[in-house]
Amino acid sequence: MTERCLIAALYGSLALCALRAPAQAPGYDQPYRPQVHFSPRQHWTNDPNGLVYFDHEYHLFFQYNPFGDEWGHMSWGHAVSPDLLHWRELPVAIPEENGVMIFTGSVVVDHANTSGLCSEGQSCLIAIYTGASKTPEGGRQTQNIAYSRDDGRTWTKYEKNPVLDLQLADFRDPSVQWDADARRWVMAVSLPKEHRVSFYASPDLKQWRHLSDFGPEGDTAGDWECPDLLRVPAWQGHESLWALKVGLNPGAPQGGSGEQYFLGSFDGARFVASKDRGSHGWTNYGKDDYCAISFNGLPADQPPVLMGWMSNWQYAAKLPTSPWRGQMSLPRRVSFLRDGAGLALRQEPVIDPLHEQSSALSGTAASALLAGNGLAAVAPYELDLDFGHTSEEVFGIRLYSDAQHWTEVGFDTKHREFYIDRSNSGIRISPDFPGRTVAPLAEGRPYDLRLIVDRSSIEAYAQEDTIAMTDLIFPPSTNDRIRLFVSPAQPAKISGRLWKLKSIWEKGPSAH
């Protein structure tokens, strides 16, 4: 035991010491270990928290159990990156302490020291999070703050926490941002059982005044969680809209947990959903993307960037991975599209820096997709295909890991559906795991497809990135055979490219 830990033990804080002590880092090459998605070295993770860009560095905080691979002892894990892809894990940032777990929240850059918690003349990071504690009545959730004066490396909890307390058991997941026009902080926070998002304002992150409520609206089949309010620019345009993203658990259309969005307007106090076609939808139509939040602190000329937890509460505790359990989605740049089919949220994955070798899929290579053996690929890889405006009824690809196991990704134009079918993909970890996830196809948008295939997941983007679908898979091999299927006849034209992707861990855990 180190001298620091011995002193901590004398004062009854050995658990805190254990959180801060560096753990021996295992490798990043276990079966199912993602190679282009962030996962912690070990133990359990769920929601991303406090995504922020500060001093040329991206910060990912995340729900984390420092003591095991099941949910519990919720604290904030921490990793940093120069490019949103290559992550270096740091010690636990904000630990569970005195019976208060650290639930989901956000981090902001307090440039003007409105909080009074920064060093004089310096910006600092302020975390706003839900503190969850047990009470004789069952439980209590409050909003709290902590501050860091050293680029997020160490954190101090505000001595007068909580800063917002409604005396409720379910009141969580604050999303905070700076309103430059009103010169105040704005918080969106969830009342899960009431299917409402409440908006609050503060001059200093300590005193909060209620502004308005949004909801119930849209889908209310489960708890509303992880709200996020973001200003979204037009894709290839100059206008902007506001998007309010809200998690739903359980009760999502694909089963278990999922996330809906509303496009509309926000006047600094009240969000109003648009009535235009397409203004309400789902950020992800797969089973495995939940509680995605956006990065604070990005330059004003950049679009928002979302990142989510790649799992589902139906089976998250059963994932067959070790010594870690849980991973994050790819970051996605967000915009919106307005066309003849209406409004839609676009999500473009950040993946290009990992492109390595590639081969064009045209002529002989395209024909090989239809041949018996198909094309060979080893995860991780990206497959981009453009089917044009085909008249075929059903078409897509199958990713075979062996003769008995495959995942099917396709378009069904007759039923107006895009889908992933993982019924035969590999290990069935739960009765809720096998199945087919679907998204509605929009009239007039092209049948394009982008797949990012990792060792234990598929992220699919279709119809100009207006459909996102993320599904975990646990195949017996990372060696795939890609085969095209069409019905009733071969499409007149297909083009695309197959990319080999570099591992984000390629330089070893000491570097990343």
Query: Could you report the per-residue pLDDT of 14-64, keeping only the tens digit for each?
Result: 333 334 433 323 589 999 999 999 999 999 999 999 999 999 999 999 999
- Above 70 in pLDDT, residue 502? yes
pLDDT at 12: 33
Model confidence at 494, pLDDT cuts 50, 70, 90, reads confident
Please state the φ and ψ torsions of residue 422, each to the nearest 5 degrees.
-110, 20
**What percent of the chain shows pLDDT beyond 70?**
90
**What percent of the chain shows pLDDT beyond 90?**
84
Among residues 216, 130, 217, the alpha carbon closest in space to that of 173 is found at 130
- Above 90 in pLDDT, residue 260? yes
Q: Quick one: how many helices (H) and strands (E) in the chain?
A: 3, 35
**246 Cβ contact partners less than 8 Å away, ≥ 6 residues apart:** 190, 197, 215, 218, 224, 225, 226, 227, 259, 260, 261, 262
pLDDT at 187: 98
- Above 70 in pLDDT, residue 288? yes
**70 Cβ contact partners less than 8 Å away, ≥ 6 residues apart:** 44, 317, 325
pLDDT at 388: 75
- Above 90 in pLDDT, residue 78? yes
- Above 60 in pLDDT, residue 8? no
pLDDT at 3: 34
The pTM assigned to this predicted structure is: 0.93
pLDDT at 28: 93
pLDDT at 237: 82
- Cα gap 139→27, rounded to integer Å: 38
pLDDT at 371: 63
Q: What is the pLDDT of residues 348-387, one digit of tens each?
A: 999 999 999 998 887 655 666 766 678 899 999 999 999 8
Opening angle at CA 245, ends 185 and 171, nearest 5: 65
Please state the φ and ψ torsions of residue 365, each to the nearest 5 degrees.
-65, -40
Q: What is the pLDDT of residues 291-315, one digit of tens each?
A: 999 999 999 899 999 999 999 999 9
Active-site hit among 47, 219, 223, 465: 47
How far from 281 is each of 311, 442, 466, CA to CA, in Å?
Answer: 20, 12, 10
Model confidence at 398, pLDDT cuts 50, 70, 90, reads very high
Query: Quick one: average pLDDT of 169-194?
Result: 98
- Above 70 in pLDDT, residue 503? yes
- Above 50 in pLDDT, residue 71? yes
- Above 60 in pLDDT, residue 508? no
Question: Checking DSSP bridges between strand 495-501 and strand 381-386, what pairing results, if any?
Answer: antiparallel
Strand partners, 261: 245, 281
- Above 90 in pLDDT, residue 105? yes
pLDDT at 4: 34
- Residue 465 bears catalytic tag: no
Comparing 414 with 16, which gets the higher pLDDT?
A: 414
Q: What is the pLDDT of residues 445-487, one digit of tens each?
A: 999 999 999 999 999 999 999 999 999 999 999 999 999 988 8
**480 Cβ contact partners less than 8 Å away, ≥ 6 residues apart:** 376, 377, 378, 379, 381, 399, 400, 401, 453
pLDDT at 364: 59
Residue 93 burial (C-beta neighbours within 10 Å; 0-12, 13-18, 19+): buried
Query: Quick one: average pLDDT of 177-187?
Result: 97
